[in-house]
Amino acid sequence: MKKSYAISGVIVVLLVVLGFAFFAQNKPQKQSKPTIGILQLMSHPALDAIHQGIIKGLEDEGYQPGKNIKIDFQNAQNDQSNLKTMSAKFKNENADLTIGIATPSAQALANAITNKPVILGAITDPKGAGLVKNNEKPGGNITGVSDQAPLNEQLQLIKKFMPHMKTLGIIYTSSDDSAVAQYKMFTKLCKQQKINLKAYSIANTNDLTQVAAQAASKVDAIYVPTDNTIAGAMQTLVGAANKAKIPVFPSVDTMVKDGGVATYSIDQYQLGVATGKMTADILKGKAKPSTTPIKFFRHGKLIVNEKQAKMLGLKIPASILKEAQQKGEIVK
Ligand code: TRP
């Protein structure tokens, strides 16, 4: 009897010691820093704000870059071959997770990486871009945040500014999937509301001055979707439109700051913060891409560029000015 107690005692002690040894051995591995790759299409104020927001979102969730997480940040300078090389680099270095900022980056990552999570940082139309099967149930290794703009709120705002508008112009880059997706939605909306919309497209920034001048000579106002090329060249567009005293109504806050008149915008920085939070949940194993719905923001915040409106001699409707003062933003 006593002997068998002694033996079981020894066995218990042994198991406990072995157990500790096992966990102790595994601990350093668990603590090793996850590597995440961030691929940004190009620099323009909106994408830069999204990038900064992502870092903030990760930090809020306890991930300090350089301390307990390694971030490999790459900027493709709007070059397709860079997108490919950089995605391959992330794959080769076995990044634990990658984030694509803007549609072409996300598409390049999706093509290269199929066995690790890919997070969408501000992609207008994830399903239309072929990135997920379903926005509610993505199904694969990809999920993320959409920056789809509140187009109808934006259109109503333009109508308030321009009650006598006869023709509205829209200008977009023909190779930008995100801009084209919004161009199509906006066209539908204008048709429903009997607004005469005239479309102008550019191939790249080299066309912008000429096409913008042409548009400005034919329309009463110009709308710009979330177009990566134009977001990086607002000065060119606004310069051409100013010459004809035609207001530009863009789709995001950063583009209003760069010379647009007004919009209802989804906060670009907050889009990044949301992307960073989703990334953290996935890194912690709290969520899986396949079952995490794409996050959409349905409403925008009013932002008005008072300086630009004054310069154009455009009256800001009183109700709009009040709303911007109370819960929006005014650029002076
Ligand atoms: N939605 C764009 C895309 O999918 C990226 C983007 C986010 C953007 N915010 C923007 C483009 C603001 C222009 C302006 O590619």
Q: For 229-269, what is each residue's pLDDT tens digit? A: 999 999 999 999 999 999 999 999 999 999 999 999 999 99
**Shared-domain flag, residues 61 and 134:** yes
- State whether the beta carbon of 279 lies less than 6 angstroms from ligand 1: no
Whether the CB of 178 sits within 6 Å of ligand 1: yes
> Which tens digits make up the pLDDT trace of 133-186?
999 999 999 999 999 999 999 999 999 999 999 999 999 999 999 999 999 999
pLDDT at 14: 61
Of residues 14 and 50, the one with the higher pLDDT is 50
For 191, the domain range is 151-265+300-331
Among protein residues, the one with the nearest Cα to ligand 1's atom 13 is: 226
Q: CA 332 to CA 321: how far, in whole Å?
A: 12
Distance 107 CA to ligand 1 centre (A): 14
How would residue 28 be classed by pLDDT, with cut points 50, 70 and 90?
A: very low
- Indicate if the pLDDT at residue 208 is higher than 70: yes
pLDDT of 32 reads 79
Domain assignment of residue 203, yes or no: yes
Mean pLDDT of 318-324: 98
- Is the CB–ligand 1 distance for residue 101 below 6 Å? no
> In this structure, are 51 and 96 located in the same domain?
yes
Average pLDDT over residues 194-205: 97
pTM of the model: 0.90
- Does residue 64 fall inside a structural domain? yes
Residue 306 reports pLDDT greater than 90 = yes
Cα distance between residue 114 and residue 132, in whole Å: 12
8 pLDDT band (50/70/90 cuts)?
confident
Query: Same domain for 170 and 318?
Result: yes
Number of domain units in the chain: 2
Q: Residue 182: which CATH number? A: 3.40.50.2300
Question: Cβ atoms within 10 A of the Cβ of 291, count?
Answer: 11
| Residue 170 and residue 114 share a domain | no
What integer pLDDT is reported at residue 11 of this predicted model? Answer: 65
In this prediction, residue 143 carries a pLDDT of 98
Residue 28 lies in a domain: no
Q: What does the mean pLDDT of the chain come to?
A: 94
Instruction: Enter the tokens of residue 86.
Output: 């950089």
Ligand 1 pocket member 275 (CB < 6 A): no
The contacts of residue 14 (CB under 8 Å, 6+ apart) are none
Give one DSSP letter per residue of 236-294, joined into a string: HHHHHHHHTT--EE-SSHHHHHTT--EEEE--HHHHHHHHHHHHHHHHTTS--GGGSPP
Same domain, 85 and 127: yes
| Domain assignment present for 175 | yes
CA of 225 to the centre of ligand 1 (A): 9
Cα 84 to its chain centre, rounded Å, is 20
The pLDDT score that the predictor gives to residue 31 is 56
Give the pair of three-digit tokens for residue 65.
């870059």
